[in-house]
Structure 1
Amino acid sequence: MRNNYLKRGLFLLTILCYGFTYAQQTVTGTVSDETGPVPGVNVLERGTSNGTTTDFDGNYSIEVNDDAVLVFSFIGYQTKEVSVNDQSVINVNMVTDSESLDDVIVVG
């Protein structure tokens, strides 16, 4: 009988630990600027190599840890960091970076 309780306890402990180590969620949203959606924006989970890019309509979807910070970056825009904080939808408005635009040289 005692052995049966021990097995049940270990089973419950395993389930609880599994839930804590793999606490991830899917975050979706749209990245836009003052003119509309921005395609091709890099969306990375800070401190990892986990990332994605926005599609043609500025939409993205990424699976991250619950305590993650998302980093949004694109040439010509200021990098923006947003804490997930158990949010499942995060829409971001990018701001143009006039200083980095001065450094762009186009050769045709």
Structure 2
Amino acid sequence: MRNRARHAVLALTGAALAGAPLLLAVSPATAAGAPGVITVHRDGPARSLPFTARRDGEAVISFAASAPGVSWARKGAESAVVAISVDGRHVTDLVVPSSEPVAEPRPRARRPR
């Protein structure tokens, strides 16, 4: 099996429906470096977070996202969406339905049986 590169670039682009900035607190669980805050603006340029994993294999990246100005009370401002790419390949979209920080629960490591 071929080893995959341990260096990666996480790219974020925003489509915040409210036109407000989308704030992401990013914490790569197995990467070197401190967590950071990335601000993505609607129709703005992609923001990148390069990281190096400590070892080969899959990496877990935790997000806490908020979208100030998002409100279900205003038409057209219901949520924000951020596209997530790794090494130039789109992998998922993250929908942020609240101006309050939304965090994805961290997966627990499983022990081999």
Tell me if TM exceeds 0.5.
no
For normalisation by structure 2, the TM-score amounts to: 0.40
Q: Indicate the structure (1 or 2) with the bigger Cα radius of gyration.
A: 1
For normalisation by structure 1, the TM-score amounts to: 0.41
